[in-house]
Chain A
Amino acid sequence: MKFLLLPLTVLILLVTPFSAYAKTFNAQSTTLENGLRLIVIPNSRAPVVTHMIWYKVGAADEPPTKSGMAHYFEHLMFKGTETLSPGEFSRIVKGLGGNDNAFTGQDYTAYYQNIAKQHLEKMMSMEADRMINLKISEEDFISEKNVVTEERRQRTDNKPKSLFMEQMRDALFTNHPYGTPVIGWMNEIESYNWEAVKGFYDTWYAPNNAVVIISGDVTMEDVKPMAMRTYGALEPKDLPQRKRGKIPPAISETKITLFDETIKQPSYQSLRLAPSSHQSKQESLALQILNEILSGGPTTRLYKNLVVDNKRATSVNFSYQSSALDHGKIFVSAIPHEGISLDEIENDIQNEFNHVIKNGVTETEVKEAIQRLQDSAIFARDSVSGPANIIGFNLLTGSTLNDIENWPTDIATVTPAQVQDVAKKYLNAEAPYIKPPVKGYLFPTNTKEASKTDKKGAIQ
């Protein structure tokens, strides 16, 4: 909208699977003849539905020099069809008492409406319409480009820390599209032309490349006939393969430093590769438990040891992002306590990792982590839109519906030995996985002189 929800930093912080998964949504699933997948999650709490359509295309599928186009295209989807004028889609939804929006990630683009259930079929028919009948005027094409450049300024260019994170991701994902920001690079956003954008739409927007998820006060019995009347009429297309580059192994460490006058305290961060759930399910489950044991709350290892007991940091965070078609990743950040340097806090954190690598974790820690994660799955059911998002997000990053439904059982199979193994494999400073982590150091400008003697000035 609309929103480019989930620039990756936010994704890491907010959409980690731990708080989001659920035990069982009792979702019902079917596939229409034209290849469109339909999923229904019955929930009778209120007479409303969330209707979402997820396309299996995202920023990572953009052609070279067209960064941000998947997201820009998502904006254009609100700009009218053969039968709807620009903005009319959202105005109709509002007029029926609903809300709508959309978001784009590296692996998916999704559109949704929350609305009273009697309007569901209308929503489906409008989504089916804009899947094939989009019609954009030259004027809207240009004005929306300005909206997106303003969006980029608001999200990224106005905030040095956001620019910094963008650079860190770029440095990590060598030869892979996850290094390119979902919103795109400014100079490429400015250069889009309609032919390329239209080509993107014609290539990827098709019923056999979409998953429709409906959560709320309906059942598959209610919904399937509606889906057949609306989406069912659309022709499938031949879809290209989704081709992404491979990250080559690297031997040298990448360190990025920024001095900025709006930064008021030094901070440390690192970003490293890890397998996604799609790449290695059981390892991913073990990494989720490791994440919980290291950083699942104020009484878990990193916070307890570094912030509470030893006063080395005033904040510390470790988060593993498991959901991605290709690589997952681990983001670590810390603000050192007064008198502690970034080098020192970096070492402290690595020492915590080394402790797990050498000594493992306890039975009790694993048991407690499993319990907390299983409970979080119960809480996740207390929502209409939440389960639709969780299922969409995970399906579109390569999990199966069974993986999602059985997550609380699967997570309970993780053993302390598996946790130690993934720590050895993915947090080992001596033998990094694929390539050494990218490390970032943020400093207030006025510390620049002082840090010249410091060894971490190297720009990547």
Chain B
Amino acid sequence: MRIFFPILCVLLLISAPTKASEELLDIKKVTSPSGINAWLVEDHKLPIISIQFSFKGAGSVNLTEDKQGLSQLLSNTLDEGAGEYSSQEFQKKLSDKSISLSFNSGRDNFGGTLKFLAREKKSAVELLNLALNEPRFDKEPVQRMVDANINRIKSSQGNPNWINARLYNDRAYEGHPYAFNSGGTIISLQNITPQDLKDFKNSHLTKDRLVIGASGDITAEDLGVLIDTIFGSLPDTTPPSKIKQLTLQNLGKTYVYKRDIPQSIITIGLDSIDELHPDYYTLQILNHIFGASGFGSRLMSEAREKRGLTYGIYSSTTNNEYLDALTISTSTQNETVAEMLQIIKDEMKKIKTDDLTQDIKKAKDYIIGSLPLSFTNNDSIASILLSLQLRNRDINYLNQYHEKIMTVSAEDVSRLAEELLTPEKMITIITGTPKNLENTLLITEVPNVE
């Protein structure tokens, strides 16, 4: 589950362009006195500041099999006691001051968010500074967070969507660190020591990887000072990583994990292109028309609106550091899985030959028109600023994006569909008891869970 929907959301946010003539988002580039960069949208309507930051490349992809979940556990324990404060003292301080501080660990990046009321700026800065520079990793809270993660894993085992996502990662990314369970396994989590957490933090949370987006009630000057106080004493650099690029594995295969449930969960993966590829903008349009737009997309129209086969079907693009993919996800009762798979293949064919002029116009209208919907709150704006920088985009990207989207033609979309939507080169993962399927491979256990 986790792997699909968050990615989809991020894409919706960052794929929204603007009209060049309208200054919808006034992004400032801020350089702190010590030379750390951040992007800021200043807005003083509410006494709220939202800061999102990320250490690019510091995600779970760096971990070995026996330490799966280490970066996840780091994200859970950095705020569990630091400096003079024990875990409970630290959390009490956050709570008394209504400061939201949390860390997150993705496959590629390790990040955090800090949100606070202007009146609590001093405490917010102090606490994040301590969390990043002097975390304690005391035995009790580390064990408590291991227990909480084990709870989460055991609880997820009752969720067939989670199982299917786990299996997809395992088979589609086979042989690559992406195939591991970024949330850890029940055994690996228990192997992680406070020293492991310290080592990972010191070697990966470094200034050369730091990216920052901020929005709200703060001036550029104050933000610069704040950044230096929080991040200024982190180590400068990380040694380069040796991780290899990946293309999807096991293409052409359909796997089934049998589970006695009335509805099967289906995830399909296809190879795709990266964000710097000239066809990237064409991909946004193609994906929108094919399945990303929900109601009105070709997959949703055919599978749900016309035939009532599912509550939802979506396509989404994944652009990770080492992998680019297009995924399709849906669920349908066991009796109609074969029909659903056929519809998906048929829609792949149709989109290559149909006249797409109208679809493309609508897609452009939506992509361009929906831009300001993401600019309505500080969290969302800070998150867009972070995303753009993580993807190495120019500060004027949103303005340029509009033009790039507008130049996409029907021929471009058909050509890219021909290239990417290849039914014979899909990996398909199904959890459930699908009926009438041929040539499937049975999976009997879910790896990297226990």
Interfacial residues, chain A to chain B (CB-CB below 8 A): 1-2, 43-48, 78, 86-87, 90-91, 94-99, 114-116, 142-151, 153-154, 157-161, 216, 260, 262-265, 296-299, 304, 307-308, 314-315, 335, 337, 368, 371-372, 375-376, 378-379, 381-386
Would you call B307 an interface residue if the criterion is a C-beta within 8 Å of the partner chain's C-beta atoms? yes
Indicate if the CB atoms of A143 and B306 lie closer than 8 Å.
Answer: yes
Chain A, Cβ-Cβ closest to B365: A95
Stretch of B273-281, B370-378, B408-416 on the interface side: B370-378
**Nearest Cβ distance between residue B377 and chain A, in whole angstroms?**
5
* Pairs across A and B, CB under 8 Å, 19 listed: A86-B305, A97-B369, A143-B308, A150-B308, A150-B331, A154-B311, A157-B262, A158-B331, A160-B158, A263-B158, A265-B151, A296-B95, A299-B92, A314-B151, A337-B147, A379-B98, A379-B115, A379-B117, A382-B377
Contacts of B369 in A (CB 8 A): 95-98, 116
Contacts of B378 in A (CB 8 A): 382
A376's partner among B98, B150, B159, B368 (CB-CB below 8 A) is: B98
Contacts of A94 in B (CB 8 A): 293, 295-296, 362, 365-366
CA distance A1 to B46 in the complex (A): 33
A368's partner among B96, B373, B379 (CB-CB below 8 A) is: B96
Contacts of A154 in B (CB 8 A): 263, 311-312, 331
A46-B24, A148-B311, A150-B308 provided; 16 other pairs, C-beta below 8 A? A91-B296, A94-B295, A147-B310, A150-B309, A150-B333, A159-B158, A216-B376, A297-B91, A298-B88, A299-B95, A308-B87, A308-B144, A368-B95, A375-B98, A381-B46, A383-B376
Contacts of A161 in B (CB 8 A): 158
Indicate if the CB atoms of A315 and B372 lie closer than 8 Å.
Answer: no
Q: How many A-B residue pairs have CB under 8 A?
A: 176
On whether A98 and B370 interact (CB within 8 A), knowing A44-B45, A91-B362, A265-B151, the answer reads yes
On whether A45 and B376 interact (CB within 8 A), knowing A158-B262, A159-B158, the answer reads yes
On whether A315 and B148 interact (CB within 8 A), knowing A91-B296, A297-B91, the answer reads yes
Contacts of A95 in B (CB 8 A): 362, 365-366, 369
CA distance A360 to B445 in the complex (A): 51
**Nearest Cβ distance between residue A20 and chain B, in whole angstroms?**
14
Would you call B43 an interface residue if the criterion is a C-beta within 8 Å of the partner chain's C-beta atoms? yes
Chain B, Cβ-Cβ closest to A304: B88
Chain B, Cβ-Cβ closest to A48: B372
On whether A143 and B155 interact (CB within 8 A), knowing A153-B262, A299-B95, A308-B88, the answer reads no
Would you call B301 an interface residue if the criterion is a C-beta within 8 Å of the partner chain's C-beta atoms? yes
On whether A142 and B151 interact (CB within 8 A), knowing A116-B372, A372-B98, the answer reads no
Indicate if the CB atoms of B372 and A158 lie closer than 8 Å.
Answer: no
CA distance A371 to B366 in the complex (A): 42
Would you call B261 an interface residue if the criterion is a C-beta within 8 Å of the partner chain's C-beta atoms? yes
Would you call B127 an interface residue if the criterion is a C-beta within 8 Å of the partner chain's C-beta atoms? no
**Nearest Cβ distance between residue B421 and chain A, in whole angstroms?**
22
**Nearest Cβ distance between residue B408 and chain A, in whole angstroms?**
17
CA distance A337 to B43 in the complex (A): 46
**Nearest Cβ distance between residue B265 and chain A, in whole angstroms?**
8
Interfacial residues, chain B to chain A (CB-CB below 8 A): 24, 43, 45-48, 87-88, 91-92, 95-96, 98, 115, 117, 140, 144, 147-148, 150-151, 154-155, 157-160, 259, 261-263, 265, 293, 295-296, 301, 304-312, 331-333, 362, 365-366, 368-373, 375-379
**Nearest Cβ distance between residue B435 and chain A, in whole angstroms?**
15
B310's partner among A1, A87, A150 (CB-CB below 8 A) is: A150
On whether A45 and B48 interact (CB within 8 A), knowing A1-B295, A97-B369, the answer reads no
CA distance A116 to B368 in the complex (A): 11
Contacts of A379 in B (CB 8 A): 48, 98, 115, 117
Contacts of B311 in A (CB 8 A): 147-148, 150-151, 154
Contacts of A97 in B (CB 8 A): 365-366, 368-371, 373
CA distance A213 to B210 in the complex (A): 41
CA distance A43 to B295 in the complex (A): 28
Chain A, Cβ-Cβ closest to B153: A264
Contacts of B262 in A (CB 8 A): 153, 157-158
Indicate if the CB atoms of A382 and B308 lie closer than 8 Å.
Answer: no
Q: Which of A48, A94, A262, A371 has the most CB of B within 10 A?
A: A94
Contacts of B332 in A (CB 8 A): 150
Contacts of A142 in B (CB 8 A): 308
Contacts of B263 in A (CB 8 A): 150, 153-154, 157-158
Contacts of A260 in B (CB 8 A): 158
CA distance A1 to B311 in the complex (A): 9
Q: Which of B87, B157, B304, B308 has the most CB of A within 10 A?
A: B308
On whether A382 and B304 interact (CB within 8 A), knowing A159-B158, A262-B157, A264-B154, the answer reads no
CA distance A274 to B70 in the complex (A): 42
CA distance A314 to B149 in the complex (A): 10
Q: Which of A1, A97, A337 has the most CB of B within 10 A?
A: A97
Indicate if the CB atoms of B373 and A87 lie closer than 8 Å.
Answer: no
Indicate if the CB atoms of A375 and B117 lie closer than 8 Å.
Answer: yes
Indicate if the CB atoms of A87 and B296 lie closer than 8 Å.
Answer: yes
CA distance A315 to B155 in the complex (A): 12
CA distance A148 to B263 in the complex (A): 13
Contacts of B43 in A (CB 8 A): 45
Contacts of A297 in B (CB 8 A): 91, 95
CA distance A302 to B43 in the complex (A): 38
CA distance A23 to B254 in the complex (A): 54
CA distance A136 to B73 in the complex (A): 52
Contacts of A46 in B (CB 8 A): 24, 372-373, 375-376
Indicate if the CB atoms of A315 and B376 lie closer than 8 Å.
Answer: no
**Nearest Cβ distance between residue A263 and chain B, in whole angstroms?**
6
On whether A146 and B98 interact (CB within 8 A), knowing A48-B373, A159-B159, A160-B158, the answer reads no
CA distance A115 to B265 in the complex (A): 32
Indicate if the CB atoms of A157 and B306 lie closer than 8 Å.
Answer: no
CA distance A348 to B372 in the complex (A): 50
Indicate if the CB atoms of A264 and B295 lie closer than 8 Å.
Answer: no
Indicate if the CB atoms of A158 and B261 lie closer than 8 Å.
Answer: yes
**Nearest Cβ distance between residue B101 and chain A, in whole angstroms?**
12
Indicate if the CB atoms of A384 and B296 lie closer than 8 Å.
Answer: no
Indicate if the CB atoms of B365 and A47 lie closer than 8 Å.
Answer: no
**Nearest Cβ distance between residue B289 and chain A, in whole angstroms?**
11
Indicate if the CB atoms of A147 and B371 lie closer than 8 Å.
Answer: no
Chain B, Cβ-Cβ closest to A96: B369
Indicate if the CB atoms of B48 and A371 lie closer than 8 Å.
Answer: no
CA distance A382 to B48 in the complex (A): 8
On whether A264 and B308 interact (CB within 8 A), knowing A94-B293, A98-B370, A297-B91, the answer reads no
**Nearest Cβ distance between residue A339 and chain B, in whole angstroms?**
12
Chain A, Cβ-Cβ closest to B363: A94
Chain B, Cβ-Cβ closest to A45: B376
On whether A146 and B158 interact (CB within 8 A), knowing A96-B369, A157-B263, the answer reads no
Indicate if the CB atoms of B91 and A299 lie closer than 8 Å.
Answer: yes
CA distance A335 to B366 in the complex (A): 45
Contacts of B95 in A (CB 8 A): 296-299, 368, 372
**Nearest Cβ distance between residue A121 and chain B, in whole angstroms?**
16
Indicate if the CB atoms of A98 and B373 lie closer than 8 Å.
Answer: yes
**Nearest Cβ distance between residue A44 and chain B, in whole angstroms?**
7
CA distance A368 to B97 in the complex (A): 10
Contacts of B333 in A (CB 8 A): 149-150, 153
CA distance A216 to B375 in the complex (A): 12
A315's partner among B151, B304, B312 (CB-CB below 8 A) is: B151
Chain A, Cβ-Cβ closest to B295: A90
Indicate if the CB atoms of B377 and A114 lie closer than 8 Å.
Answer: no
**Nearest Cβ distance between residue B162 and chain A, in whole angstroms?**
10
CA distance A52 to B312 in the complex (A): 23
